[in-house]
Structure 1
Amino acid sequence: MFKGSYVALVTPMKASGEIDYSALEKLVAFHIEQGTHGIVSVGTTGESATLPFEEHIKVVKQTVAFANGKIPVIAGSGANATDEAIFLSEQMAGLGIDGFLSVVPYYNKPQQRGMVAHFNAIADATDLPVLLYNVPGRTVADMLPETVAQLASHSNIVGLKDATGDIQRLKDTQALVPSDFVLLSGDDGSSAEFLCAGGHGVISVTANVVPNAISRMCEAAFEGKFDECRQINASIASLHDGMFIEPNPVMPKWALYKMGLMESAELRLPMVLPELASQKQLEELLEKHALISG
């Protein structure tokens, strides 16, 4: 259902802090042109935690409009309050999206049984497919493979974005879920190995700046060309690191600003622009990869 390279798209903002819908249109066109297989709108990289509901919904709506059916759009709808996640899902269900990405509740550290109840309640509230999102590095709570397998029995829960970076975790999950349950990497650094081990695709931060490379990496793996997949990954490995010099989405926004795809690298507080040393480090990487000129 969801296969290949999905970009965890940034939400562009003007220096004033307003959403820059002109830049958003440019970014969507860029991904369609570069061969990205799909877009995740207003996930973690899209600053879902700091966008008010009204803006969150409007950004997703406009992303769908700009994609115009050319590539699928998955909407981030996670929250650490189940009622809020359901509200967001209900509000966005009629926007033309292809599914939801819903993160393990952050901060409140739910038990595994709590995660099951949370995600089943969300899936019960929609007819659209739901992707689970496990990112314990941000949420603290870690959804175990046995929990994923239990949730996979719900007809609307169709897959998992796994950002643990642990290939053994992928294998443990594969052994417990149906073969058509979608497994996507949410960790750029280990994504090539994830694909070579049978993963169905990636939701990538690095794809913001080198979408064609991530797309080709996925396609090589699907064709069984694992050496080629690894070679493509090796060629952009320094960019994977560069995207996380400071917490996401600080660096991808700075990169897109320097690449001329956004007029500003503005973020919502409490996130702020990168330190000068981080800016310089990333710009040197972008020059090395011929994404900007020196």
Structure 2
Amino acid sequence: MKGCFTALMTPFKNGAIDYASFEKLIASQIEAGIDGIVPCGTTGESPTLSHQEHNQVVEFTITQVKNNFNGAVKVIAGTGSNATQESLNLSRHAAKCGADGLLVVSPYYNKPSQEGLFHHYKSIIEAVSCEIVIYNIPGRTSVNIDIETFKRLATLKNFNTVKEATGSIDFASKLINAVPTLDVISGNDSLNLPMASIGGVGCISVLSNLFPKEVKNLFSLYNSGHISEATSLHHKLLPLTEALFIETNPVPVKTAAVMMKLLATAEVRLPLVQPSQTVSKRIAAELERLAELK
């Protein structure tokens, strides 16, 4: 699966999901020309959504895209869990609703072995007919998926994409070289351009909640041979990208979204809290610097 996808924020208002803001966010992404959207990922605060809310957000996203935009973009629903059965339930529901693909983060907290990871993903891949995007982010899960495990999984139908978020260009390069049948997409906005340079074919982006056109344009410029322009855009976006991860995602990006009038509130659910004034000021300064891009 190739292209630039936005890891959507889940807007909240007074503790509940703010579907009016969510509808506007989806519309703004599609109108900006993004290739796809990802509800209920890390940026969507999936760990603090109830199962009912999770399913409702996925259904709402798919319905908006199909009914209001004639299926203009792909919907890749986040369906990961540290319990295989729970991930299966979420995955089957999203597939039944018409998701184009599923983003399945590796199990967190319980630290499965490589054999456990293989069977976890095998169970999900074999249970649904839509494409599976495996999300490797050891900084949040505490377990890295080994290249040998990816080789085994790559033999299974419906899996050919990895969201690579180890933060290691070395690992990403080795993975692309070792399993050339896989589409490897960037899961770290600061590494989007470096990933493209080693064979990455897109991204699932936090930054594109704010600057979808620019994130997509970075890849378009690089892929069309305009390397210096892509590099210049990368350097323009990098300070804001860094500011969005000073505190835990999605706290900073929601703060930025309110400043840009993309969301009504920057509300997050505990245990996440609002950013410090220092972080808010830095975000505001970076947005002011980038005002020329809007």
* TM-score of the superposed pair, with normalisation by structure 1: 0.95
Q: Which residue of 2 aligns with 1:29?
A: 27
Superposed CA RMSD: 1.5
Corresponding residue number in structure 2 for 1:290: 291
Taking only the aligned residue pairs, the percentage that are identical comes to: 40
Q: Which string of whole-angstrom CA distances, capped at 9 and with x for unpartnered residues, describes residues 125-166 of structure 1?
A: 111110100001111101111211111111121210000122
Please give the per-residue CA displacement for 1:80-133, whole angstroms capped at 9, x wherever unaligned: 010110011112212121010001110111111110010001111111110100
Distance 2:125 2:93 in 1: 14
Per the alignment, residue 18 of structure 2 pairs with 20
Is residue 149–residue 173 contact of structure 1 (8 Å, CA) maintained in 2? no
The secondary structure found in structure 1 opposite 2:291 is coil
Q: Deviations over 1:248-292 (max 9, x none)?
A: 000111111111111111111111111122111111111111189
Separation in 2, partners of 1:176, 1:84: 31
The structure 2 residue matched to 1:65, chosen from 40, 63, 81, is: 63
Counterpart-to-counterpart distance in 2, 1:284 and 1:195: 28
Q: Structure 2 unaligned segments of length 5 or more: list them.
A: none
Q: Does 1:48 align with 2:46?
A: yes
2:205 maps to which residue? 204
C-alpha separation in 2, matches of 1:291 and 1:44:
29
Q: What number of residue pairs does the alignment pair up?
A: 290
Q: Does residue 101 of structure 2 align to residue 96 of structure 1?
A: no
Following the alignment from structure 1 to structure 2, what is the Cα–Cα distance between the partners of residues 23 and 213?
22
Whole-Å separation in 1 of the counterparts to 2:168 and 2:268: 30
> CA deviation digits over 1:215-239, x for unaligned, max 9?
0011122223333222211110111
**Map of 2:152 onto structure 1:** 150
Residue 7 (structure 1) aligns with = 6
Flag as ranges the 4+ runs of structure 1 deviating above 6 A.
none
Give SS of 1:97's match. coil
The structure richer in helix per residue is 2
| Bigger shift: residues 84-93 or 73-82 | 84-93
Residue in structure 1 matched with residue 271 of structure 2 by the alignment = 270
Q: Contact 1:4–1:200 at 8 Å: present in 2 too?
A: yes
SS at match of 2:12: coil
Please state whether the residue corresponding to 2:21 is helix, strand or coil.
helix
In structure 1, C-alpha distance between the alignment counterparts of 2:229 and 2:3, rounded to whole Å: 16
The offset of 1:205, in angstroms, is: 0.8
Q: Which residue among 75, 79, 82 is the counterpart of 2:81?
A: 79
Q: For the residues of structure 2 that align with 1:217 and 1:258, how far apart are their CA atoms? A: 23
